[in-house]
Structure 1
Amino acid sequence: MSVSTTWTESISGAVYVGEDIPVAYRTDRSGYVPSSAPEVLVVAADVDDVRRAVILAADAGLTVVVRGGGSGLAGGASAGAGSLILDVSRLDRILEIAPADELAVVQAGVSAAQLDAEAGRHGLRYVPDPASVAISTIGGNIATNAGGLRCVKYGVTGDSVLGLSVVLADGRLIHTGRRTAKGVAGLDLTSLFTGSEGTLGVIVSATVRLHPIPVRTVTVAAYFADVEQAAAATAAVLSARVRPSLLELLDERSLREAQDFLGVRAQSAGAFVVAQTDGFGADAEARIIESTFGQFTSRVLVGDDPDVADELLAVRRSALPALERYGRVLIEDIAVPRTRIADAVRRITEIAERHRSQIYTFGHAGDGNLHPIIVVPPEDASAERRASDAADEIFATALELGGTITGEHGVGVLKRRWLERELGPDALRVQRAVRAALDPSGLFNPGKV
């Protein structure tokens, strides 16, 4: 298509058209690639650019796909024919840190790691910490209501969001939420846009909660004979009514690959669990976790050395990049009741064997959110089909166990056909009605749910 001078004159950021758009902009970290290419890329320099791009896209008959760090895992930022990609990653300013009110105002392109570091200068921290914390943006984290390692105690991203600034389909800029600790005026539009995956509007900034940096943090790690033993141990910890700030699990294969990726000394085990406690009661809670783990294994490590803790957490965070070395990965994201984790892992193992697929399982044991990662070797022509069949069975297993098809990565493109099965047709019709009310022409993120 041809882009008139109106575009280049009205957008202060960069505009790319057709073949000038870098190929990487067609997809996200999910690896899903549309069969056709997008028409226009606008790299917004400010909020006015976002508003102008939305209006220009509507006038030109294009749809809008919003993109931040491109780290999404469900194909939500993938863009094909007839679309304008709106890159908001240059909206990367921390607008305000308010230490007394324990909040920050940030633009959508700020990373969680960047905000956490700046908050640390004031004795505070931003608690949401997805595994992609260094590369994902807060706008994207809010759009998917991302989780992270500290979910078990501090909740998902949405639990830290107080208010939003959002550009609507007609170019209007609205502000939702509040700066106060409490507030119930009107419908909760902040929660509506949180987790909406770019289908209702463009998040351009957010007001978020900050928390005091804990006075003390203790790390407890344990190596188990198998995943079932590890799952039983994590369930026992939570039954003891302690609330670790994180409680992460890796199966034997994930542990081995992550250690190899990092080049650290390998610890052989059927499963690995790392937990942290924080705050004034950190030592007391750590002792309970140590004692509980000790009922299932003798290989328990406890310490408060930050460097050792960083090394142990690096193993968990490296699990996914370690697997990406071997080909395309289907990154599944089920969540089950915590008491059914062992059942879920057992079923995943059976599914892997039945479909002759390489499946590695790790995730957030503290809240039942598991990531069965299916590796698709490029040299195996039938691996893609077998992986897809395995993924279908994994989703069915999650629902059968009383869980969900996605705990934190979102639905996007890859899980569309499973959404109605989880929600039911009536609930899905209500959601479509809400979407139509805010975006009647279907401008935003077509084909995504």
Structure 2
Amino acid sequence: MSAMISRQVLQASAKRYGLLRFITAGSVDDGKSTLIGRLLFDSKGIFSDQLEAMSQTRYRHSMDDAIDLSLLTDGLEAEREQGITIDVAYRYFATPKRKFIIADTPGHEQYTRNMVTGASTADAVIILIDASKVKLNDNGRVTLLEQTKRHSVVAYLLQIAHVVVAINKMDLVNYDQTVYTHIVQAYQEFAQQVGLENIRAIPLSALTGDNVVASGDKMPWYQGPTLIEWLESLSVYDDCHDKPLRFPVQLVARHHGHEAHGFRGYMGRIEAGKVSKGDKLLVQPSGLNATVKDILMLDRSLESAAAGQSVTLLLEEHLDISRGDMFTAADHPARQLKTVTADVCWLSEEPLDPRRKYWLKHTTNQVAARVTTIHALLDVNTQQKHPVNTLQLNDIASVTLNMQRPLIADAYNMNRSTGSFILIDEITHQTVAAGMIRLNGSGVENAS
């Protein structure tokens, strides 16, 4: 009995403290790439040949013989030449307590779409604020930079579970606690307007390493965790395991199809819930009932499978099911939506044309759609909503879309996979928008 309890505790711990995906975000030159380089360097996540290559590059931006840690993630020629981050750079590292995947995202407004890409799969976000850039307004209050606000709004819309505000470059303000306090107060007021909760603030210096991996002695007034300690403590348990089954069909596999008893399996990834042999399922949108005969993973049969696993389902019945259909729990089906209200981030340099049709890609389904109404454009600075007739690059707005045929979907706050979609230009095949389905009115429409 004790051995069984120990295994359950270990499994629960693995769910809670498994691989953590996080991103860095903020304005230009807040030190995002340098912070990631410091995390990799101090956690011994850099090979000696990488250090040697960094020390010899002609694009070093450090003022002395110190290693330019930003070069670990800024790998493009244009990034090193200009000293900015353009594309999303992913890096892997590990500590004795857990494994991490970092996404270093750009700070420029021009590349907000790249930040959205990196944030879409993140469990946590580090919002960096440069303490040396802080200016007090006439009322003696701190004014946050626009990109800090924009990235915070994106983090809220994408419902990233954990947010830390890293007050960086404290070495440039002589580790002044008053500066830190003013910034934290300003950010907390803004976060309350947006709807962000459970904000953790940490003062640090990515350049010198203070409060990144080790605390040091420069800020004795701060008694909280270092950044790495905070990251190691975060839970990554996804409650989609506890929700009703969602299994979008990606491929119908056939073997020996000419035979009377040929193999027919339905392949895909379980996006929520679990499935077991003998379960009664609903096929949407057809409404057909199905019974699970077997669950295959590679060359073995499973008694059950859960969210996150890619499997092949075999059914007792012979049904007409194709790519884009979805197996759901018979007692908790998904919504069938011909009209969708959603928050979208416009990613294209070509503005939205409400007269045009776009391809809407949702899970494994693709359907023609048109934006029929733009309800409100969100001003990331004031959190106010404004009426507009179109959307420009990086705009965030609430819209209504009509589809050629119904989507099988959930609200984004219920399931990030079955509640999200992208819009694709039917001529250029470029992704023009990323959207989050809202079924309860949450999101841009109630941001105030």
Q: TM-score higher than 0.5 here?
A: no
Please report the TM-score for the alignment, with normalisation by the length of structure 2.
0.30
Pair member with larger Rg: 2
**TM-score, with structure 1 as normaliser:** 0.30
Structure 1 or 2: more strand by fraction: 2
User: Relative contact order: is structure 1 or structure 2 higher (C-alpha 8 Å, sep ≥ 6)?
Assistant: 1
